[in-house]
Amino acid sequence: MKQETKPDLLDAIFSGIDTIRYDIKQIRDRDPAAKSDLEVALLYSGFHAVTVHRLSHILHKRGYHFTARAISQSMKFFTGIEIHPGAKIGKGVFIDHGTGVVIGETAEVGDNCTIYQGATLGGTGKHAGKRHPTLGNNVMVGAGAKVLGPFTVGSGTKIAAGAVVLDAVPENSTAVGIPARVVRIGNVKTSALDQIHIPDPVSQELCKLNARIDKLEKQLAAKEKLLAALQEKKQQKESQSKKKG
């Protein structure tokens, strides 16, 4: 393990302080209810969870897994927010209200994302490796939304409250519902867009089904043709043997 020299440590401390200042500023910019920096620093559980996570993440990266996990579980007890020490959290991330938020081990959250209470950035299986989502920058995950799997949610995207996202979502879009579908890209409703270029998972599945039905119909027709030919041959043989007899 690399021994940290004093200037490295000082750099790390100063950059940590800068990050904390930036986090507080971002929360004040995004939450009209925040009246002072002191209020955010002392009373915002989302800020506490993210700040302490930065420490547990450093410990996790240096191999102190048990200590890192113990810190993250203590923060879960105090804030109701569970962030696995392995998760990568960007600058200016704001977990608003926060109770019930769960962020998994291999999740990555870009800069300036906002995550509301009850949201989950989770996995869908028990396999090791990347199994949690990656959020770009400036993503909003609404209250109670579940984002499940190792895919990317593009920067600037909004995940609606209560949505269950199971597939990648493009940048600057809005995804709603269960399973989530993209209803806006940019500021344009997808219903008003060229249907061919919408990454709509439902219509993509329908297209796949249609292609499969076409293939099966062709196979069936070929088999029926073969069967008819065999029957014709059989009949010819029978009539020939009758004539001989």
Ligand X SMILES: CC(C)(COP(=O)(O)OP(=O)(O)OC[C@H]1O[C@@H](n2cnc3c(N)ncnc32)[C@H](O)[C@@H]1OP(=O)(O)O)[C@@H](O)C(=O)NCCC(=O)NCCS
The region of 60-68, 125-133, 177-185, 197-205 touching ligand X under the rule CB under 6 A is 177-185
Rule CB under 6 A: is residue 143 a binding residue for ligand X?
yes
Which listed residue (53, 84, 158, 181) binds ligand X by CB under 6 A? 158
Could you tell me whether strands 108-109 and 88-89 are parallel, antiparallel, or unpaired per DSSP bridges? Answer: parallel
Contact between 101 and ligand X by CB under 6 A: the answer reads no
181 touches ligand X (CB under 6 A): no
Determine the interface stretch with ligand X among 53-61, 63-71, 155-163, 209-217 (rule: CB under 6 A).
155-163
Strands laid side by side in the 108-109 sheet: 88-89, 108-109, 134-135, 152-153
What is the C-alpha separation between 98 and 179, in angstroms, rounded? Answer: 23
Count of residues binding ligand X (CB under 6 A)?
Answer: 14
At closest approach, how far in Å is the CB of 171 from ligand X? 13
> CA nearest 63: which of 87, 90, 86, 89?
86
- 177 near ligand X, judged by CB under 6 A: yes
Q: 147: helix, coil or strand? A: strand
CB of 97 to ligand X, least distance (A): 6
Is residue 46 within the footprint of ligand X (CB under 6 A)?
no
Of 18-26, 27-35, 101-109, 169-177, the window that binds ligand X (rule: CB under 6 A) is 169-177
* CB of residue 138 to ligand X, shortest distance in Å: 13
Q: Does 189 bind ligand X (CB under 6 A)?
A: yes
30 token code pair: 């995004």
Which CB, 89 or 182, lies closer to ligand X? 182
CA of residue 194 relative to chain centroid, distance: 26
Task: Residue 83: count other Cβ atoms within 10 Å of its Cβ.
Answer: 29
Residues 182, 145, 96, 105, CA torsion sign: negative
- Pick one of 41, 166, 183, 198: the residue that binds ligand X (CB under 6 A): 183
Task: Point out the residue whose Cβ comes nearest to ligand X.
Answer: 142
Please select the residue that binds ligand X; options are 80, 156, 162, 199, rule is CB under 6 A: 162
User: Residue 21 and residue 92: Cα distance in Å, rounded?
Assistant: 9
Query: Can you tell me which of 20, 58, 102, 161 binds ligand X, judged by CB under 6 A?
Result: 161
Phi-psi region of 144 (alpha: psi -120 to 50; beta: other; left: phi over 0): left
CB of 96 to ligand X, least distance (A): 6
Task: Rank residues 63 and 177 by Cβ distance to ligand X and give the closer one.
Answer: 177
Name the residue among 83, 79, 72 with its Cα closest to residue 113: 83
Strands, sheet with 188-189, edge to edge from the N-terminal-most edge strand:
94-96, 114-116, 140-141, 158-159, 173-176, 181-185, 188-189
- Site residues (CB under 6 A) for ligand X? 97, 116, 142-143, 158, 160-162, 174, 176-177, 183-184, 189
